[in-house]
Amino acid sequence: MIRIHRLEFISIVSLSILVVIGAAMRFVKLDDKEFWNDECFTALVLSGHTASELKEHIASKPVQIADLTKFRIVNEGNDVPSLLRVIGEDEPGHAPLFYFIEYLFCMAFGSTPFTMRLACAIISVTTLPIIFWLAFETYKSRVIATLTTALAALSPLLIYYAQEARDYSLGILFMTLSSASLFYALRTSKRGAWIGYASTLIVGLYSWLFMTVVIAGHVVYVTLSQGRRLQVWRPFALSVASSGLFFAPWLMFLSKHLSDFKKAYDWLQPSLTPSELLTVWLAIPYKAFALFGFKTPKLGSLLLFTTVFECAATAMAAIPFRNPKYLHLSIIVLWIIVFAGQDLLSGGARSAVFRYQTVIIFSVLILFPTLIESLWRRNRVTKILALLTIAFIFGVELLSDNYMLNCKIWPDKAIKMRFTYPIVERMNKENAAALVAEEQSINLTELLDLSYKLHPDCQLIFRTTAAPQPIPKTFQTLYLWNPSPNLEAELKSQYEITDNIDNFPYLKRANLK
């Protein structure tokens, strides 16, 4: 029978309460935030329609907002080939399993932002006990494992992904499950454990393409920790090889969509200067515990302390050599080489994208308890420092969670034109008002976000670059979403244009003279 000391029991109970609070936060205000551009791509895939089909539908003549409904709901007759067709054309950088889960969920509960996000929140809550398992395999301590789980439960990063209808929560689940399964297989050497590990790799690869970095980290860790032990290398190599074999069909699928992949990720090509990259990288450590969006520059001292704690914990994890923490360190190093190194040497902005940083941010989060563990083992003074550090980090997390849950726009979205609420609030006050949008000024799928909230009778005039449709003179009032100078010049002879409606710089009003 396992005996638990009173202090350990109190610690576990206290931390478990925080885990429950963090789990509950994943379901708070699920449909409150804007259903932003990337989430609209999720809805588009589920509808079985491509972005080019959406563009073709709205580019030739004015349409009612209600006409966009079929591009954001699961349609009858949708099947696996139709989903794969849209993924290949519009979402080639994402694995398919997430969309199939969302498809089944929406078939059961309806295609709304709430239901799509609810699936991700449930996945995120399911990940918490797996995080406990991974932390226990890493630290061999129930208290530290519970602390790690509490930190993850309250992490604004994980709550963020739990409330976003994208595949990142599913990816983190399999990143966590595969690493915990590897530790278990190495510790027990059971055939079933290795089969389980191989299964997590296979399903993980079909869940999240960033699993390739995680698997590479596993290879580095086994190389460092196991040396030439054939009794380990045989099942491990077989597990990795079998995952590659089972993933080969999807690689063949992606090879047929290389042109779509390049087109979808052209926006990552602009190079950042070394100083800009350094600024981005220095912000990575605190993101596990703090997402403050536009408020970030005002919280420099708070985030600096958080960064110092994370960096200290990551450095301490490297001592002693070959400990289980090296798995997480290996993933961090590989991310730096693959993303940061590539940006530095050949140009690009891959390492600057928040969601591309998920692998390293989560690994840094798992290593933070190393600092607490080290301080707790020394003396009474360092134990007090450990408790103060824990209190500080939990305080930062709760502040960030409160900020994030009350935002109407996602904290990392710096492009205000994506903020559609002012457009909806203003236009819903008007009867039969018309919205004019241009292909070069907005993301096409952002129109789907508007279609969830705008009055269904609202008219949409979408103008393409190649053949802009004429604007009918029957509209007394037009709203212009981020209009180009050419559009304003075209309308000025017949319309009087008012700038910055409701102090929102991306919305203008045009009244017929």
pLDDT digits (tens, 9 = 90+) for 340-385: 999 999 888 899 999 999 999 999 999 999 999 999 988 999 999 9
Asked whether the predicted pLDDT for residue 135 surpasses 90, the reply is yes
Residue 53, SS3? helix
The string of pLDDT tens digits covering residues 305-339 is: 999 999 999 999 998 877 999 999 999 999 999 99
CA angle 462, 481, 486 (to 5 degrees): 75
- Read off the pTM: 0.94
Amino acid identity of residue 386, one-letter, is A
Q: What's the number of CA atoms in the CB half-sphere (13 Å) around residue 500?
A: 2
Phi-psi region of 64 (alpha: psi -120 to 50; beta: other; left: phi over 0): beta
Q: Is 353 helix (H, G, I), strand (E, B) or coil?
A: coil
- CA gyration radius, the chain: 25
CA 481 remoteness from chain centre: 27
Residue holding tokens 């090879």? 255
Please state, in angstroms and rounded to a whole number, the distance separating the CA atoms of residues 128 and 18: 12
Residue 164 pLDDT more than 80? Answer: yes
Q: Show the tokens assigned to 361.
A: 């941010």
Size (the chain), residues: 513
Query: Is 145 a residue whose pLDDT tops 70?
Result: yes
Using omega within 30 degrees of 0 as the cis cutoff, is the peptide bond preceding 297 cis? no
Strand pairing of 63-64 and 459-463? Answer: antiparallel
Q: Percent of the chain beyond pLDDT 90? A: 72
Please, which pLDDT band fits residue 4 given cuts at 50, 70 and 90? low
Strand ranges (E), 32-86: 63-64
Q: How many helices and strands in the chain, by DSSP H and E? A: 23, 6
Q: How far apart are CA 263 and CA 271, in angstroms?
A: 17
Over residues 43-78, the pLDDT tens digits come to 999 999 999 999 999 998 999 999 999 999 998 778
Q: Which residues of 470-493 are buried (b: 16+ CB within 10 A; e: fewer)?
A: ebeeebeebbbbbbbeebeebbee
Return the minimum-mean-pLDDT range out of 111-115, 130-134, 339-343, 421-425: 421-425
The mean per-residue pLDDT over the stretch 416-439 comes to 80
**Number of other residues whose CB lies within 10 A of the CB of residue 88:** 17
- Residue 77 gets the label, from left (phi > 0), alpha (psi -120 to 50) or beta, of left
Is the four-CA dihedral 395, 401, 406, 412 of positive or negative sign? positive
Contact 109, 118 (CB under 8 A): yes
